């Protein structure tokens, strides 16, 4: 039986926050735990994608290693999964170039992400007019690099959030275009499917109308994986809720209260409604105290492991090297065939 080939990536930009963990990274660990023995898993730290927006080189370099330490700390097992730095494997950029030569510009123009990321990076609303003179070619074409990330491993299953659906659609089209144009075996590149992970959106603790994000200048708005017990407590205690008595799950009218319920529910593997029913006659104070305890319980292990692993430079270098070797071994076989098919 042939297993699934699962691929997902995360950018090395800063210490992940609770939203990244509950919305993305914890799903990777669950997938790894529930995978069949014949499934292959690839988790990539995508440094080339980070360059599509301005980065401080020193910070990026530190984040690159910290993200590897984070993945190991949350339970990604390098014996089971291939964990590697995208930028250690040239196959991604090589395949991206070949794919870019069969990608219609019109398809890239229709992508909404570069518009919102450009707006985000300038702190403008994502529906405001985009100034194309600020758009670099990398930010415009990075969905092609994403397609290459997937196709280099001939991945079949891609766990990503709904915000990535449009990009995955492009990957499918590029796989189809390549197969049609160059491949004698019509399914040389599998058509990747999106693995729907629980779509939890964690909101800012200070402004619960927007999502928890690392780009917010207010550090009180997010909980980092490295936050101490007392920081977790103080941030949750100070979080913005509402002045309505009691606790109910009502994301539209009570976004702050509902966000705490979402967080607590994620920690206890329940639905927010189930948690809400337990808090019916209770106060915000109790909800906040219990949420802080649950988050502390959730993050304590990963935080301690992260603090230990981040200082083991030799170990991290060795894991990165092993991951890169395994990734390269798989993708270079694909690229060899691709080169032959295109005539190079």
The strand order across the sheet containing 40-45 reads 82-85, 40-45, 5-10, 157-159, 193-195
**From the CB of residue 233, how many other CB atoms can be counted at a distance below 10 Å?**
18
| Placement of tokens 């619960």 in the chain | 208
Scanning 28-36, 96-104, 147-155, 194-202 for contacts with ligand ADP by CB under 6 A, the matching segment is: 194-202
Rounded CA gap, 175 and 170, in Å? 9
Q: Is 251 in the site for ligand ADP (CB under 6 A)?
A: no
Min dist CB 200 to ligand ADP, Å, is 6
Is 30 or 214 the residue whose CB approaches ligand ADP more closely?
A: 214
Asked if residue 30 binds ligand ADP (CB under 6 A), the reply is no
Instruction: Work out how close the CB of 240 gets to ligand ADP at its nearest, in angstroms, rounded to a whole number.
Output: 15
| Binds ligand ADP by CB under 6 A, chosen from 9, 12, 23, 190 | 23
CB of 269 to ligand ADP, least distance (A): 16
Does 176 contact ligand ADP by CB under 6 A? no
Q: If you ran DSSP here, which 8-state letter would residue 133 be given?
A: G
Q: Candidates 19-27, 45-53, 277-285, 315-323: pick the segment binding ligand ADP (CB under 6 A).
A: 19-27
Residue 155 or residue 335: which is nearer to ligand ADP going by CB? 155
Q: Residue 332 Cβ, how far from ligand ADP at the closest point, in Å?
A: 28
Helix (H) or strand (E) holding 85: strand 82-85
User: Min. distance of Cβ 114 from ligand ADP in angstroms?
Assistant: 13
Smallest distance, ligand ADP to C-beta of residue 252, A: 18
Q: Which residue is nearest to ligand ADP (CB)?
A: 23
Query: Considering the complex, what minimum distance in angstroms separates the CB of residue 19 from ligand ADP?
Result: 3
Give the chain's radius of gyration (CA, Å): 21
Run of H or E including 44: strand 40-45
Question: Quick one: which of 9, 20, 99, 224 contacts ligand ADP (CB under 6 A)?
Answer: 20
Task: Determine the size of the site formed for ligand ADP (CB under 6 A).
Answer: 16
Verify binding: residue 107, ligand ADP, rule CB under 6 A. no
Query: Residue 68: which H helix or E strand, with range?
Result: helix 57-74
Quick check: 211 binds ligand ADP (CB under 6 A)? yes
The correct pick among 107, 201, 231, 278 for binding ligand ADP (CB under 6 A) is 201
Q: State the binding string over 258-297 for ligand ADP (x if CB under 6 A, else -).
A: ----------------------------------------
Q: Which residue in the set 9, 19, 47, 255 belongs to the binding site for ligand ADP (CB under 6 A)?
A: 19
Closest CA to 42 of 9, 16, 67, 79: 9
What mask, x for binding ligand ADP by CB under 6 A, covers residues 132 to 171?
Answer: -----------------------------x-x--------
- Asked if 11 touches ligand ADP (CB under 6 A), the answer is yes
Answer for the pair 18, 223: CB distance below 8 angstroms, yes or no. Answer: yes
Cβ 135 vs Cβ 111: under 8 Å: no
Cα–Cα distance list, 309 to 161, 228, 305 (Å): 28, 17, 6
Buried b or exposed e, range 107-125, using 16+ CB within 10 angstroms: bbeebebbbbbbbeeeeee
Per the CB < 8 A criterion, the answer to whether 160 and 194 are in contact is yes
Largest CA distance in the chain: 71
Q: Judging by beta carbons within 10 Å of its beta carbon (0-12, 13-18, 19+), is residue 25 exposed, middle or buried?
A: buried
Kindly list the residues in this chain that would bind ligand ADP in the complex (CB under 6 A).
10-11, 19-20, 23-24, 161, 163, 200-202, 211-215
């Amino acid at each position: 039986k042939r297993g699934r080939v699962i691929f997902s990536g995360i950018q090395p930009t800063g210490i992940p926050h609770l939203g990244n963990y509950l919305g993305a990274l914890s799903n990777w660990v669950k997938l790894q735990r529930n995978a069949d023995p014949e499934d292959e898993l690839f988790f990539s730290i995508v440094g080339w994608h980070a360059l599509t927006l301005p980065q401080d080189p020193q910070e990026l370099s530190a984040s690159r290693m910290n993200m590897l330490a984070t993945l190991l700390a949350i339970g990604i097992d390098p014996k089971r999964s291939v964990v590697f730095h995208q930028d250690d494997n040239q196959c991604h950029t090589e395949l991206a170039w070949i794919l870019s030569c069969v990608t219609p510009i019109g398809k890239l123009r229709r992508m909404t992400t570069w518009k919102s990321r450009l707006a985000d990076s300038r702190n403008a609303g994502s529906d405001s007019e985009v100034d194309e003179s600020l758009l670099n070619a990398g930010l415009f074409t990075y969905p092609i690099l994403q397609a290459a990330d997937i196709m280099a491993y001939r991945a079949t299953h891609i766990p990503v959030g709904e915000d990535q659906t449009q990009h995955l659609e492009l990957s499918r089209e590029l796989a189809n275009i390549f197969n049609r144009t160059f491949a004698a075996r019509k399914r040389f590149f599998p058509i990747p499917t999106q693995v729907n992970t629980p779509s939890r959106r964690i909101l800012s603790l200070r402004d619960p109308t927007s999502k928890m994000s690392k780009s917010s200048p207010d550090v009180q708005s997010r909980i980092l994986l490295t936050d101490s017990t007392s920081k977790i407590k103080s941030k949750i205690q100070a979080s913005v809720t509402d002045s309505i008595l009691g606790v109910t799950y009502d994301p539209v009218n009570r976004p702050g209260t509902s966000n705490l319920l979402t967080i607590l529910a994620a920690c206890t593997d329940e639905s927010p409604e189930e948690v809400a029913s337990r808090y019916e006659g209770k106060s915000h104070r109790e909800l906040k105290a219990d949420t802080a305890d649950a988050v502390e319980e959730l993050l304590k292990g990963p935080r301690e492991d992260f603090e230990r692993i981040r200082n083991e430079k030799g170990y991290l270098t060795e894991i990165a090297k092993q991951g890169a070797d395994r990734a390269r071994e798989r993708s270079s076989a694909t690229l060899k065939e691709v080169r032959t098919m295109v005539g190079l």
